[in-house]
């Protein structure tokens, strides 16, 4: 098992592996499921159709361990499927598997090699019909997780033509709605911004975070749209007023993206940082500190020094690193070497 893990992670070993690939591929019959799992990963990285396709198709279709089948499906998605309908058939069957992990993996991986598949008119029609049925979910025959993943794949494959159907599902349960919002962003349509702005106000952090993530996706697809970037930046700054840790963490990460990195963010970040407390706000505190280190503004120094004495070692270390980025001086000696545990069972 260790040998398979090691050689699969070393790109330079490809030629040596190919010399023994026929013998290695026979491990798909091994009794140990962990061996078969790592074998699938290895074969997916090597991508030698002659020796690997049949073992991978066998593992993806018939293995008794669902984890092996998941790895085999991921590996198969690395292969060229233009002239191999057999691979498409494996994924089509996997979508209807009783095991949710297998079905969701198949739906997800279809987005990776679907552009190769849809070169074939017949396969394109089959794939479009398959995904459309799950996305529409007219008789609620599919669980929301399937509908969510199918929506994301549908958006990635069919781009702006997917928008109209996805819009119809924006009023679903929060968990599904959040995925539909992301799917709309994946279409790359600039019109999606209007859809997001017209959504009813929500206090649900899941929805709020998905909107932020969606705006980030759209902005990265339209980097030259200055008005869009500016509007999104202002939205991010206003979102800091929401002290939910997940929202603040997401905004802080986005504000250090090159699209939104600007000195006007310093004061809002500092104000938010001063209101957060460990352990509940630890993740958000760290994300803000990292963003402040990228901004390298001297206004951050005073507050960051206070975090050197934080009871959370990770917070203190990030504060020391940020101060070094801003001032060029080493503050690591001011971090406490011994700290009381924050969590007590």
Closest to 137 (Cα-Cα) out of 119, 125, 149, 122: 149
- Spatial separation of the C-alpha atoms in residues 84 and 45, rounded to whole Å: 18
**For residue 244, what are its two tokens?**
């939910």
Is residue 8 within 8 A of residue 16, CB to CB? The reply is no
- Spatial separation of the C-alpha atoms in residues 280 and 290, rounded to whole Å: 18
Q: What is the mean pLDDT of residues 82-92?
A: 81
**For residue 180, what are its two tokens?**
């539909």
Predicted pLDDT of residue 200: 86
Q: What is the mean pLDDT of residues 20-25?
A: 86
Helix axes of 66-76 and 49-62: crossing angle, nearest 10 degrees: 140
DSSP E strands: which ranges in 32-86?
A: none
pLDDT digits (tens, 9 = 90+) for 122-162: 666 788 888 999 999 999 999 999 999 999 999 999 999 99
In the predicted structure, residue 343 carries a pLDDT above the cut 60? no
In the predicted structure, residue 112 carries a pLDDT above the cut 90? no
Predicted pLDDT of residue 49: 87
The model's confidence at residue 120, banded by pLDDT at 50, 70 and 90, is: low
Predicted pLDDT of residue 208: 94
pLDDT digits (tens, 9 = 90+) for 282-323: 999 999 999 999 999 999 999 999 999 998 999 999 999 999
Predicted pLDDT of residue 81: 65
Q: What is the mean pLDDT of residues 207-225?
A: 96
- 192: part of which helix (H) or strand (E)? helix 192-197
Predicted pLDDT of residue 244: 92
Distances in whole angstroms, Cα of residue 76 to Cα of each of 48, 139, 194, 199: 11, 32, 38, 39
Helix axes of 66-76 and 33-46: crossing angle, nearest 10 degrees: 0
Q: Which of 202-206, 265-269, 328-332 has the highest mean pLDDT?
A: 265-269
Q: What is the mean pLDDT of residues 101-118?
A: 82
Handedness of CA 185, 189, 190, 193 (dihedral sign): negative
Q: What is the mean pLDDT of residues 112-119?
A: 60
Predicted pLDDT of residue 238: 94
Q: What is the mean pLDDT of residues 218-244?
A: 95
In the predicted structure, residue 27 carries a pLDDT above the cut 70? yes
Predicted pLDDT of residue 344: 53
- % of the chain residues with pLDDT over 70: 89
Predicted pLDDT of residue 1: 67
**For residue 185, what are its two tokens?**
């962003």
- Spatial separation of the C-alpha atoms in residues 84 and 156, rounded to whole Å: 22
DSSP 170-204: TTS-HHHHHHHHHHHHHTT-TTHHHHHHTSPP---
Phi-psi region of 296 (alpha: psi -120 to 50; beta: other; left: phi over 0): left
In the predicted structure, residue 342 carries a pLDDT above the cut 70? no
Q: What is the mean pLDDT of residues 234-254?
A: 95
pTM, entire model: 0.85
**For residue 313, what are its two tokens?**
């070692």
In the predicted structure, residue 80 carries a pLDDT above the cut 90? no
Question: 119: which residues sit within 8 A by CB, 6+ positions away?
Answer: 82
Distances in whole angstroms, Cα of residue 18 to Cα of each of 30, 110, 173, 269: 20, 27, 49, 53
- % of the chain residues with pLDDT over 90: 71
Predicted pLDDT of residue 197: 87
């Amino acid at each position: 098992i260790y040998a398979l893990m090691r050689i699969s992670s070393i790109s330079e070993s490809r030629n040596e592996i190919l010399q023994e690939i026929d013998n290695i591929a026979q491990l798909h019959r091994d009794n140990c499921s962990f061996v078969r799992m790592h074998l699938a990963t290895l074969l997916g990285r090597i991508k030698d159709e002659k020796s690997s396709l049949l073992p991978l198709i066998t593992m993806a279709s018939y293995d008794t361990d669902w984890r092996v089948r998941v790895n085999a499906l991921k590996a198969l998605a690395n292969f060229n499927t233009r002239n191999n309908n057999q691979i498409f058939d494996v994924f089509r069957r996997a979508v209807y598997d009783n095991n949710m992990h297998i079905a969701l993996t198949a739906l997800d991986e279809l987005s990776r090699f679907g552009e190769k598949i849809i070169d074939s008119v017949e396969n394109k029609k089959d794939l479009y019909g398959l995904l459309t049925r799950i996305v529409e979910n007219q008789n609620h025959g599919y669980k929301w997780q399937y509908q969510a993943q199918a929506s994301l794949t549908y958006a990635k494959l069919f781009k702006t033509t997917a928008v109209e159907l996805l819009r119809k599902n924006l009023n679903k349960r929060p968990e599904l709605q959040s995925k539909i919002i992301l799917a709309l962003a994946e279409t790359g349509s600039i019109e999606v911004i209007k859809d997001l702005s017209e959504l009813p106000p929500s206090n649900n952090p899941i929805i709020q975070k998905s909107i932020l993530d969606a705006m980030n996706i759209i902005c990265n697809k339209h980097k030259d749209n200055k008005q869009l970037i500016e509007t999104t930046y202002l939205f991010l700054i206003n979102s800091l007023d929401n002290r939910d840790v997940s929202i603040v963490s997401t905004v802080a990460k986005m504000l250090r993206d090159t699209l939104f990195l600007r000195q006007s963010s310093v004061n809002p970040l500092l104000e938010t940082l001063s209101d957060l407390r460990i352990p509940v706000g630890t993740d958000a505190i760290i994300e803000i500190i990292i963003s402040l280190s990228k901004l390298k503004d001297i206004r951050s120094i005073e507050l960051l020094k206070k975090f050197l004495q934080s009871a959370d070692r990770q917070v203190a270390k990030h504060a020391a690193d940020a101060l070094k980025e801003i001032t060029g001086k080493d503050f690591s000696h001011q971090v406490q070497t011994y700290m009381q545990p924050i969590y007590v069972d």
